[in-house]
Chains A and B, each alone.
Chain A
Amino acid sequence: MNTIDQVDRTLLQQLFSAATQDASAAMCRWTNGQISLTLDEISELPIEEVSCSLDLGDSLLTMVALTLQGELGGTMLLTFDEQNGRDLAASLLNRPRAISPEWTELERSALNETGNILGCAYMNALTRFLDAELIPSPPYFLQDFGASVLEQALMTQALNCDTATICRTTFRREDRALDWNVLFLPTQALRDRLVNCVAE
């Protein structure tokens, strides 16, 4: 796998910024204007360093995962801190925050739908650019060690190469940054296709 040079990285940054803007608009509509997204960075790291770099480690995280099947594949992970995740679910459901320590089925559905909306907006933007269909899986709710989930998400990349491309997006509620992230980990094939498209 060829590493991304600085020019291509800049062009990819522009592409993913545009996709993030679409996802941000969708998130604003979904949350009645409360929450927006901005692209944080695109990085290319040895697979073994990803977990340390993202500082997921053995923290327990609430996450929604979507996978892209097929040759142009990848994984999108939406990660939340517990408190804000449950506040979001309560806001979406228009009811007080649940007091049970376990997430209710409705709360999980609200977060899954959030992941679905974000994922579809993101993928629709990339689809328009690539002129190739990217279809995310149904969302999958997880509460687990962040590094465990990240390992699975990295597997399609690890099968063929020693580095991973990671697009990291951060969330804001009005003026305040939230401890949430969207991580998009494209497969080598998707990443190469994107690089080729931006380079043309």
Chain B
Amino acid sequence: MPCATLAEPVCHQAGMGKIVLATGPGTITTVLGSCVGIAIFHPRTHQGLLAHVVLPSSSGRVATPGKFADTAVPDMLKQLASLGICDSSLIVKIAGGSNMFGLPAGPMQVGESNLAAVEAALAKAKLRIAGRHVGGNKGRRVTLDCQAGSYRVEVVGADVVIL
């Protein structure tokens, strides 16, 4: 009897403003600059979400919920709730929020604003941040492993960090 071939784990991409849901052993990856990647993982069901947050506040703008910190977090929780996941064992990690051009204070410092807004949105939802790799002036490629729950952060010229 031939052995069943194991399917390759699916690697999903979370583009700007998107929220992607996946199940382990799948992964979700994206590249971040001033944007913030919010990873939420449920260890029992191996469900994971990655939101690629672009801006701090929706201010009433209608767009994809993942685009803004104040709409991304509620939408992620809503997606989990639709799967019957409402417990407090969620693990949250964040990365990104860089200032890529090394500019002084001004509208281009949106990375810092994004970080502050994401932290506020998570606090409002009573979610504790278990790991973070934020700020600086370099880009990040991040990958959420929906089997292990790890959040891998790659920065050019630096060692890989696993949150």
Q: Determine the chain B residues whose CB is within 8 A of the CB of A145 once the complex forms.
A: 31, 33, 139-141, 156
On chain B, the residues within 8 Å of A72 by CB distance are: none
* Nearest CB in chain B to that of A150: its residue: B33
The contact of B108 among A47, A57, A152, by CB within 8 Å, is A152
Judge whether B64 and A48 touch: CB under 8 Å: yes
The answer to whether B141 and A58 touch across the interface, beta carbons within 8 angstroms, is yes
- Chain B, range 15-31, C-beta contacts under 8 Å to A: 15-18, 31
Whether A48 contacts B16 in the complex (CB less than 8 A), given A67-B103, A140-B101, A147-B33, comes out as: yes
B32, A144: Cβ atoms under 8 Å? no
Majority secondary structure of chain B interface residues (helix, strand, loop or mixed): loop
Contacts A48-B64, A152-B111 supplied; 20 other A-B pairs, CB < 8 Å: A47-B16, A48-B15, A51-B15, A52-B15, A57-B31, A58-B31, A65-B100, A67-B108, A69-B106, A137-B103, A142-B101, A144-B138, A145-B33, A148-B31, A148-B33, A148-B100, A148-B138, A151-B34, A152-B100, A155-B108
Q: Once the chains are docked, how many angstroms separate the CA of A140 from the CA of B141? A: 21
Chain B residue at smallest Cβ distance from A187: B107
- Do B17 and A155 touch across chains, with their CB atoms under 8 A apart? no
- Tell me if A140 and B102 are in contact (CB < 8 A): yes
CA A52 to CA B110, docked complex, whole Å: 22
Q: Report how many residues on chain B are interfacial, defined by Cβ distance under 8 Å.
A: 32
Which residue of B has the minimal Cβ distance to A151?
B33
Q: Does A132 contact B (CB under 8 A)?
A: no
- Contact (Cβ within 8 A) A47 B31: no
- Are B18 and A149 in contact (CB-based, < 8 A)? no
Q: Mark B85-118, 1 if CB is under 8 A from A, else 0.
A: 0000000000000111111001110110000000
Residues on A with beta carbons closer than 8 Å to the beta carbon of B50: none
Shortest beta-carbon distance, A198 to chain B, in Å?
26
Q: Which one of A12-20, A111-119, A156-164 is at the B interface?
A: A156-164
Q: A155–B101 contact, CB under 8 A?
A: no
Cβ contacts A124-155/B at 8 Å (1 or 0 each): 00000000000001001011110111111001
